[in-house]
Amino acid sequence: MKKLLFLSAMFSMILISSCESDDNDVVDDIIEEDIYPVAELLPKLSDLILFEGDLADLQPIETVEIYKLNTPLFTDYAQKLRFLSIPEGQTMTYNGDGFPIFPDNTILAKTFYYFDDNRNPSLGKTLIETRVLIKKSGQWNVGNYVWNTEQNEAFLDDEEHILPIEWIDEFGESKEVDYVIPSNLDCFTCHQNNGVNLPIGPKVRNLNFDNVGVNQLQKFIDIGWLTGAPAVSEITKLPDWEDDITYNLDERARAYFEVNCAHCHQPGGNYDINFDATFELRYETSFEDSHIYDKRNSILARMSTKIDGYSMPFIGTSLIHGEVVILMEEYVASLDD
């Protein structure tokens, strides 16, 4: 009898241990399962689950990557932090040095902000907006999230807003701007070609550079986010317009045009459709076909002033990009040499 009781107790202990082991396996599976963002334009930025911890820290979850551009878009000296989310089990497909083919449910997000003092970012920052592109059924949906005054949430908002901003630049000079948060309609003015919504910055050639000591494209290849690409050494690199050591004047000017102007000044772009199809600013366009020489004086004049309806870029800036005006003065002068 005692032997039977002992065997029964041992069996119960083994059964309990087995159940506990199974439960632990389930818990471990839950803990180890990756979390992915929600690919929907929901009312609040936090609803998208792009970030973890305090939202204002802009700390992406593990399945979201921060990326940079070799030459970025200018927006009144605002700081920008860019994020990319590729859905589980999917990948971008190499399609030349322009845009990769992004899978459905890809999320591109970009947060605009100003440091209180560029010399010391630890003194704080003002978050303004987070622009979001989400690809659904082969089409890009555009949404803009405007940060509240408490700086703890951003809300989906299709309206234009003007926000006075003050900051100190890297030289210790006080700066100010009436920052324009674009309306949804203004976003479509630039983010479209022949009526189809598109990103602007993340072309393969603009991602092909070392970021924190690692080539971004190579990293995307290594983690399985980009397939079908040749060796990164065989892919075009868009120049960094600020790098006057590595690149010549023409390369730097054309790179700036590519990111800041070409979305309108190319076949199917806003300028091409509404005004003049002969002016082409894509980086791959030959100088002769671009007609930059014919428009050289207009380019310089429009980039050197702020007159609504005349100055360029047409949307997205309230300030003159002084350093680029200097670049363009040199560039235009070189065309007449």
Domain spans of the chain, in order of start:
33-230, 239-337
Q: What tens digit of pLDDT does each residue of 36-46 get? A: 999 999 999 99
The whole-number pLDDT of residue 190 equals 86
Instruction: Tell me, letter by letter, the H, E, C secondary structure of the chain.
Output: CHHHHHHHHHHHHHHHHHHHHHHHHHHHHHHHCCCCCCCCCCCEHHHHCCECCCHHHCCECCCEEEECCCCCCCCCCCEEEEEEECCCCCCEECCCCCCCECCCCCEEEEEEEEECECCCHHHCEEEEEEEEEEEECCEEEEEEEEECCCCCCEEECCCCEEEEEEEECCCCCEEEEEEEECCHHHHHHHCEECCEECCCCCCHHHHCCEECCEEHHHHHHHCCCEECCCCHHHCCCCCCCCCCCCCCHHHHHHHHHHHHCCCCCCCCCHHHHHCCCCCCCCCCCCHHHHCHHHHHHHHHHHHCCCCCCCCCCCCCCCCCCHHHHHHHHHHHHHHCC
The whole-number pLDDT of residue 315 equals 81
Question: Average pLDDT of 115-143?
Answer: 97
For the chain, what percent of residues have pLDDT higher than 90? 78
Q: What tens digit of pLDDT does each residue of 14-50 get? A: 444 444 445 554 444 444 578 999 999 999 999 999 9
Q: What tens digit of pLDDT does each residue of 179-230 get? A: 999 998 888 888 888 889 999 999 999 999 998 889 999 999 999 999 999 9
The structure's pTM equals: 0.88
Instruction: Place 266 in a pLDDT band, splitting at 50, 70 and 90.
Output: very high
